Amino acid sequence: MTRPRLAAPADFLILVAVLAAGAWSWFSAPGSDGSKAAVYVDGKRLAWWNLAGPLARDTVEGALGPVVVEHGLGAARIVWAPCPHHLCMRAGSIRRVHAELACVPSRLVVVVEGAQEGENGLDAIP
């Protein structure tokens, strides 16, 4: 009587391929869908857009009223906010992951989110 084999040589090839796919999935899981511009008001994520998309403008409701965000072609900026000093409108565009724009009176933050977190990426940019 012979003991049944656990696996044939071909099964080990499958095992190697599947583990390689698993490793790829492991390292690419967070944010592998590219950078996004996301808008948070009072900590809640109200809108997000793929930064690689065409240039577009959208309106988000902040604490003081509508805020207009321009996004696309790899960048995002605030083009209108009902804040008294319009600091966020003058802050320019953001492109890098973790870059943020804030309209404090509107309690609104625009942030670039993406796949650069990790050993080769940045955790923050003060």
Partner 1 sequence: MRPVFRLAILLAPFLLTSCKSKPVVRYWTAMDCNFDATLHGPGGPMPAEKALDLVVAESHRLDHLFSDYDATSPLSVLRGRKGDTVVVGSEIALVLRKALVAMHVSGNAFDPGMHDLKQLWGIGTERGHVPSRDSIEALLVRRFGFLPKSSDTLPEPFAVLPNNRVVLLTDSLPIDLGGIAKGYSVDRLSAVLDSVGWPRHLIQGGGEIIAAGRKESGSWHIGIKNPRRTDTIVGVIRSDSTGAVSTSGDYERFFIEAGVRYHHIFDPPTGHPARGGTVSVTVLCPTSLDCDAFTKPLFIMGPARSRHLADSLGLQAFWIRETPDGLCARVTSGWGDRLQTALPGCPADW
Binding partner 1 (rule: CB under 8 A), the pick from 36, 67, 109, 114 is: 109
The reply to whether 61 sits near partner 1 by the rule CB under 8 A is: no
Q: What angle (nearest 5°) sits at the alpha carbon of residue 98, between those of residues 95 and 100?
A: 75
3-state secondary structure of 48: strand
Binding partner 1 (rule: CB under 8 A), the pick from 2, 7, 36, 66 is: 7
57 sits in which H/E element: strand 56-62
Exposed, middle or buried: residue 6 (CB in 10 Å: 0-12, 13-18, 19+)? exposed
Pick from 18, 86, 25: which is nearest to 77 by CA?
86
The reply to whether 69 sits near partner 1 by the rule CB under 8 A is: no
The reply to whether 13 sits near partner 1 by the rule CB under 8 A is: no
Task: Write the interaction track for partner 1 spanning residues 76-105; mark x where CB under 8 A is met and - where it is not.
Answer: --------xxxx----xxxxx-xxx-xxx-
The reply to whether 121 sits near partner 1 by the rule CB under 8 A is: yes
CB 49 within 8 A of CB 37: yes
d(CA 103, CA 87) in angstroms, rounded, equals 7
The reply to whether 6 sits near partner 1 by the rule CB under 8 A is: yes
* Binding-site ranges for partner 1 (CB under 8 A): 5-8, 11, 14-15, 18-19, 21-23, 25-26, 29-30, 40, 42-43, 75, 84-87, 92-96, 98-100, 102-104, 107-109, 111, 113, 117-119, 121-126
